[in-house]
């Protein structure tokens, strides 16, 4: 876990660096909305579009309490809170990510509905059956003990609550080309196949509602992002803010991994039985 946390931790001062980049681009922190931060805080393939699909799958109300396992910079949590009025608790292993997520929520007036804490997604410490829904977005790739992750999601969910997993999975095209945005090499990368994920979720007690493979859309998303950057230049802030100079190679490898079917992007919606 410490190795994973070190990979995601930048040189420090990430909040100040992002604030300065936004100011240099003429953006006013006092008027930011969650969508304005999407280029950096929707740190998953297909970005905000995928977050909107997650909202639909979770079937939330304004009274819902959602647990975001591996909440990162908090983009999905803020999107959930802004569009549904729900309350979101985010748990993430990387302390600087929690600091940035908290600052972003303050900047976008979402701090009353989103709260972030440093912790282990496989052992959150939350009471049993204490949340109405749970989500994990591009997290299990870094977790070798997936049974513990899914068991924890099942434990904290109330009966009838939904759990959405949007993850990068192992494809049939061969081993992943590294580095990628979640790992510099295979030592901290633990991809499951779609079949393995189904089996793991069922073993944890979940009932499958739906499974959507978005790999083709993911490839198009990367291709469009590359074309947009070539045409207009990069946005004021990108994932390179915390992934550093290697991000360009990571993005190129992601295109190759998707095109060669080495990885798949899949969203599974399931529920804890009543």
What's the number of domains the chain is made of?
A: 1
The CATH number given to whatever domain includes residue 98 is 3.40.50.150
- Sign of dihedral through CA atoms 219, 223, 228, 233? positive
What is the separation of C-alpha 183 from the centre of its chain, rounded to a whole number of angstroms? 14
pLDDT score recorded for residue 6:
54
Q: Collect the ranges in the chain with pLDDT lower than 50.
A: 7
**Whether the bond into 179 is cis, omega within 30 of 0:** yes
Expressed as residue numbers, the domain containing 158 is: 2-271
Beta-carbon count within 10 A of 33 CB: 13
CA distances from 73 to 3, 101, 116 (A): 18, 4, 9
């Amino acid at each position: 876990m410490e190795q994973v946390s070190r990979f995601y931790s930048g040189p420090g001062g990430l909040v100040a660096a992002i604030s300065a980049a936004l100011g240099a681009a003429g953006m006013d922190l006092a008027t930011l909305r969650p969508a304005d931060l999407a280029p950096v805080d929707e740190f998953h393939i297909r970005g905000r579009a995928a977050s909107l699909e997650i909202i639909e799958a979770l079937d939330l109300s304004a009274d819902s309490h959602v647990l975001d396992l591996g909440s990162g910079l908090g983009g999905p949590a803020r999107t959930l809170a802004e569009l549904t009025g729900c309350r979101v608790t985010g748990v993430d292993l990387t302390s600087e990510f929690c600091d940035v997520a908290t600052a972003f929520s303050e900047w976008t007036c979402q701090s009353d509905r989103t709260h972030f804490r440093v912790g282990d997604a496989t052992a959150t410490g939350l009471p049993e059956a204490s949340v109405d829904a749970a989500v994990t977005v591009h997290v299990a790739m870094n977790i070798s003990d997936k049974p513990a992750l899914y068991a924890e999601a099942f434990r904290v969910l109330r009966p009838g609550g939904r759990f959405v997993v949007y993850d990068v999975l192992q494809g049939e095209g061969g081993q992943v080309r590294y580095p990628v945005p979640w790992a510099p090499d295979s030592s901290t990368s633990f991809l499951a196949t779609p079949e393995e994920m189904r089996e793991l979720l069922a073993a944890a007690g979940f009932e499958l509602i739906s499974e959507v493979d978005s790999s083709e859309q993911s490839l198009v998303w990367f291709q469009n992002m590359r074309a947009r950057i070539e045409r207009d230049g990069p946005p004021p802030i990108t994932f390179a803010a915390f992934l550093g100079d290697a991000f360009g190679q990571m993005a190129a490898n992601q295109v190759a991994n998707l095109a060669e079917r080495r990885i798949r992007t899949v969203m599974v919606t399931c529920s804890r039985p009543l």
